[in-house]
Structure 1
């Protein structure tokens, strides 16, 4: 059975994802679609709209055959680390190809850009340091450093978010000496960060979430932008838990962490550097909401995304000593769900996997998995009443979802 891999968040799964999934399957001539999906906290440093279990079910009902979780230590990270972890999982699970969406849509441009940067690595690194010293953010410094290389206009636009991720996926494949074949399809209509509905059927996840959280009495109807299983699961989740997750739900927990900690203790948290600890504590005392807090700590040097990731690490008390030194590759395959076809693939291929498959946390001991457990528990803390306990214990007791 031939498997194509996707690296996803599905926050939530929408029509653009459905297009990408079908295009990936056709381009790879695959029998099975395997998704590596971020857990409850995402790459941009945000809590997922609904839990990873519900998003896994959403993926399976919309055409994915196997869903593995991207561990916390890779999911809430910069693009390079995110890509290394995700590619290592797809490689271990026997994927012959990886298909990603991009603004470019031309896989040859990705290969050419990777080769071009390998040839110009020294001057590229020097340019990055030079631009960072001017006070710009790391992603901005990368885009500027690349733009200052001669002939860079012939290659990828590394200012585009999906191009950046695709570039890192191919770098990870090279670095890990993986036999995975990278493929790309052009994104349709909506840009990654679009906050408005750009067409009649395709919208970004950002614009869909904005509509869901709108305080307007006449909220935009998202029905035409998401498949029916997505719409139904969103309805079911809200009826059961009476909420969708966003940063404001976690503000009181983050504020508590910050106002009771010393600057010295805060410096131990992963990604906190250069005196940020004092700025964070001061802003936490003065702020009445997460958005207000973010406005106070935002600088030209630190992107909103970088600061949100840092806030997640504070929330989960993830220290530099916990994250630094861990392997750049995943150490296990955490199975969240499968279809009948996915189960057949597992039965045929499992013995050839290079990593153990974890179906139940209670039967697996690994220091890396502690971060996933902690993140899932903290994610469930904002659920009201007795439902909190159910989601809290789900992490240990819930078997993988099986869709016949």
Structure 2
């Protein structure tokens, strides 16, 4: 059986994702699709709109055969670390290929750009550090350094979000000497950061879908852009837990973290550096909302996304020492299985004996400091939910076995 890997957040799963899964299988001639999916908190430092278990069901109902969790140590990170973690898991699962959407859509350009980067790595790293010192954000500094060090003719536009991630996937595959073959297709219809729902088409960005759900407090506007199964999962989650998760719901908990941590403790938190902690302490006292707080923090040097990740690490109380130790290993420490179809189960049965990394299906059967962070993230994620449903959800983290889905009957 051939397996194609996809790296996803499914926040939430929409028609564009369904198209992506179909294309992944078709263009790579694969029997199964394996999704490495971010857990409770996502790359931009935001909470997922619903739990990873509900998003796993969405994926399995729409063509994905295996869903594994991308651990917190990789998920809430800059693109390079995010991609390295995801590729290490797909490599461990013996994937034949990796499929991703991009603004460019031509895999040869990704290969060419990754090779050019490899040739000039030392110079690019030096220039990036110098440009960060000059006040540029890390993404802007890295893109500028690359352009300066390498002739950019016929190379990738690294100012585009999906191109950036795709570049790091291809680079990670190259650096690992992995046998995974990367494939890409051009993103259709909506751009990653589009905030408005498009007219006369059925594919919208997850950003615009979340925005519409928040502003209109209704599922009606987003219904055309979602598979019916996704709509049912969203409605069921909101009905059961009383909310769809969004950043503002965590603001009071973030304030509590600041009120109970002194400056020395704050300085130990991962990604807190260059005195940003003093700016944070001042801003939190004058902000009445999360958005206002970030607006007070925002500078040219720090992107909105990086600030959101910092604040998620504060909520989680993740220390630099802990994260640096966990990231020293180049291999994912485990594979957390969230769900599988019947075909996915057949694939796992075939490769299980070849796996060099523990496959975790029950939390009671495995222990690791990185997994402890995943568990903590789920507990923090559940904080805005009222009791007794908050406890019910967090207990499910330990009681829920990998979800099994019968694609023929459509039943779990």
Q: TM-score, normalised by structure 2?
A: 0.95
Where does residue 380 of structure 1 map in the other structure? 382
User: In structure 1, what is the Cα distance between the partners aligned to 2:264 and 2:127?
Assistant: 33
Where does residue 207 of structure 2 map in the other structure? 206
User: In structure 2, what is the Cα distance between the partners aligned to 1:90 and 1:217?
Assistant: 37
2:81 aligned with 1:89, yes or no?
no
Provide structure 2 residue ranges, at least 5 long, that are not aligned to the other structure. 407-412
Where does residue 115 of structure 1 map in the other structure? 115
Q: Is this contact kept in 2: 1:81–1:328, CA < 8 A? A: no
Please state how far the C-alpha of 1:347 moved relative to its aligned partner. Answer: 1.4
SS at match of 2:139: helix
Q: TM-score, normalised by structure 1?
A: 0.97
User: In structure 1, what is the Cα distance between the partners aligned to 2:254 and 2:187?
Assistant: 35
Where does residue 333 of structure 2 map in the other structure? 331
Provide structure 1 residue ranges, at least 5 long, that are not aligned to the other structure. none
1:288-299 correspondence to structure 2 within 5 Å:
288-299=288-299
Q: Is this contact kept in 1: 2:361–2:401, CA < 8 A? A: yes
User: In structure 2, what is the Cα distance between the partners aligned to 1:251 and 1:289?
Assistant: 7
User: In structure 1, what is the Cα distance between the partners aligned to 2:131 and 2:393?
Assistant: 45
SS at match of 1:12: coil
User: In structure 1, what is the Cα distance between the partners aligned to 2:404 and 2:373?
Assistant: 25
Where does residue 51 of structure 1 map in the other structure? 51
Q: Is this contact kept in 2: 1:259–1:285, CA < 8 A? A: no
2:394 aligned with 1:392, yes or no?
yes
Query: Number of residue pairs matched?
Result: 403
2:132 aligned with 1:135, yes or no?
no
User: In structure 2, what is the Cα distance between the partners aligned to 1:320 and 1:147?
Assistant: 31
Please state how far the C-alpha of 1:284 moved relative to its aligned partner. Answer: 1.2
Q: Is this contact kept in 1: 2:54–2:233, CA < 8 A? A: yes
Q: Is this contact kept in 2: 1:259–1:281, CA < 8 A? A: no
1:335-374 correspondence to structure 2 within 5 Å:
335-374=337-376
User: In structure 2, what is the Cα distance between the partners aligned to 1:110 and 1:198?
Assistant: 29
SS at match of 2:351: helix
CA gap 1:95/1:282 in 2 versus in 1, 3 angstroms: same
Please state how far the C-alpha of 1:366 moved relative to its aligned partner. Answer: 1.4
User: In structure 1, what is the Cα distance between the partners aligned to 2:50 and 2:311?
Assistant: 19
Q: Is this contact kept in 2: 1:360–1:396, CA < 8 A? A: yes
User: In structure 2, what is the Cα distance between the partners aligned to 1:296 and 1:179?
Assistant: 46
SS at match of 2:6: strand
User: In structure 1, what is the Cα distance between the partners aligned to 2:296 and 2:169?
Assistant: 34
CA gap 1:298/1:184 in 2 versus in 1, 3 angstroms: same
